[in-house]
Amino acid sequence: PVMGDAGPIAVPQGAQISFGADGTISAIPQGEGPEAMVDVGRIKLVTPDEQALERGEDGLFRAPPGDDGAPGVLQADEEARLVSGALEGSNVSAVDAMVSMIDVARRYDMQMKMLSTADENAQRANSILSIQG
């Protein structure tokens, strides 16, 4: 569920939804026209202090627990805005990461082949020395 100002937000199944810049979620029930649009809730927008967030074992960031051990709660930020229809950019280039991974794999293979060749050379040297001795 998505958390709203007043708790979890329930969107009617099959409804066409839209988001306002202030986090308002509006829905048009399935089979209805635009005049049937209703507000179903408002997403709680926050601006957390990055230093105060704690990373969980699942990789998600959470507010630190309260003094009583209850899950932390972040205060709503009236200045925060939601951009509908935009995609958040990534700080990782998939192509560059793939090229780097291939390069590392090739270097690893080359190093392993070099170690294998050095081991074979050492075995040959030992066999030559044992024949002479």
Tell me the residue range of the domain where 96 lies.
90-133
pLDDT at 123: 93
Q: What is the pLDDT of residues 38-94, one digit of tens each?
A: 988 888 888 888 888 888 888 888 888 888 878 788 888 889 998 888 887 777 888
pTM given for the model:
0.53
Q: Are residues 56 and 7 in the same domain?
A: yes
Give the C-alpha separation, 90 to 94, whole Å: 9
The confidence score (pLDDT) of residue 101 equals 96
- Within 10 angstroms of residue 12's Cβ, the number of other Cβ atoms is 13
> Is the Cβ–Cβ distance between 28 and 36 less than 8 Å?
yes
Strands 54-55 and 61-62: antiparallel
- Has residue 48 been placed in a domain? yes
Contact 45, 77 (CB under 8 A): yes
Closest C-alpha among 62, 19, 61 to residue 37: 19
Give a yes or no: residue 68 inside a domain.
no
Asked if the structure places residue 84 within a domain, the reply is: no
**Contact by Cβ (8 Å): 11, 40:** yes
- Tell which of 23, 42, 62 closes a domain: 62
Does residue 67 lie within any of the structural domains? no
Instruction: Give the model's pLDDT for residue 4.
Output: 79
